[in-house]
Amino acid sequence: MTIEILSAVPELLTSPFEHSIMKRAQERGLLTIKVHHLRKWAINKHGQIDDYQYGGGAGMLIMCEPLANAIDELQQEGKFDEIIFVTPDGKRFEQKDANTLSLKNRILLICGHYKGIDQRIRDLYVTQEISIGDYVLSGGELAAAVIIDAIGRIIPGVLNDETSALTDSFQDNLLAPPVYSRPVDFRGSEVPAVLLTGDPKKVDAWRQEQALQRTKERRPDLLEKK
C-alpha cells in the first residue's frame, strides 16, 4: 500500500514513520509513505500557497491552484483510491475506518493549515473528510500521522503476531482488559491469580469480563453499538 501526503509543513511528518511498527512495515515493503511539500506547487516565486478568504474574516486559506496542480500531477502516475482531507469538521475516524482504508492500494491525505482549504477542492477532488476527534489541532499533520499509524499497523503482514491486532481495544467495540508481566508480586500488588492457573478457558473468560467491566465504566457508548 502507498500513502501519500500533501503538506505545507512536511517536517512534522518525518519522525513518526521512522520507528517501531511503521518502520518495519516500510522495510518489509508492505507500506510506502511519500510526503510531498505543497510549496513545490506554489503560485509564484515567493512560494505563495495561501490567501485571504472572500467575504472577510481572520485567517488564510490554502488556495485552489497549488492543491489542484499537486493532485493532478500526482495522479499522472495513476489514480488515488481515496483523496482524504483531514479536518476537524470531518467525520470522526474510528477503527472500522482504519480497517477499510488498510485494504486500499493508494491513498492521498491532504493536510490543511490556517483556516483550511478552498471549498472547491473539497467539492472537486476530496472523496472523504476525516477528523480524529472533537478538539482542534493547529494543522492536519499530527492528525494525518495518527490516521496513517492506525492504518499501517493493520496492513496484513505488518504485525508479527497476526492475532494481536484482533485483540486491540475497539476491534470488537470493547476496551482491552488489564495486562500483567513479571514479577508476580510488585511492592505487595499481585498479578490476578486466574492468570497464573495455566487454564486458557478461565483466562479468556476473565479477560472478557474485565474488558466488559472496563467498557461499562469508561465507554458505555461503545456497548450501545454492539
Binding residues for ligand 6GU, rule: CB under 6 A, are 86-88, 131-133, 135-137, 139-140, 143
Q: How far apart are CA 131 and CA 29, in angstroms?
A: 28
Closer Cβ to ligand 6GU, 131 or 210, answer by number? 131
- Minimum distance, C-beta of residue 8 to ligand 6GU, in the bound complex (Å): 12
Closer Cβ to ligand 6GU, 66 or 140, answer by number? 140
User: What is the SS3 assignment for 61?
Assistant: strand
The candidate with the shortest Cα–Cα distance to 82, out of 107, 104, 112, is 107
Closer Cβ to ligand 6GU, 81 or 129, answer by number? 129
The widest CA-to-CA distance across the chain, in whole angstroms, is: 70
CA dist list (Å): 151 to 1, 25, 30, 114, 133: 10, 11, 12, 26, 16
Strand residue runs (E) in 47-177: 50-52, 60-62, 82-92, 106-111, 128-131
- Minimum distance, C-beta of residue 212 to ligand 6GU, in the bound complex (Å): 29
- Minimum distance, C-beta of residue 132 to ligand 6GU, in the bound complex (Å): 4
Closer Cβ to ligand 6GU, 114 or 170, answer by number? 114
Closer Cβ to ligand 6GU, 138 or 208, answer by number? 138
- Minimum distance, C-beta of residue 61 to ligand 6GU, in the bound complex (Å): 14
Q: How far apart are CA 208 and CA 174, in angstroms?
A: 9
- Minimum distance, C-beta of residue 62 to ligand 6GU, in the bound complex (Å): 12
Task: Give Cα 220 distance to the centre of its chain.
Answer: 23
- Minimum distance, C-beta of residue 154 to ligand 6GU, in the bound complex (Å): 20
Task: Give Cα 119 distance to the centre of its chain.
Answer: 23
Closer Cβ to ligand 6GU, 80 or 206, answer by number? 80
Q: How far apart are CA 224 and CA 222, in angstroms?
A: 5
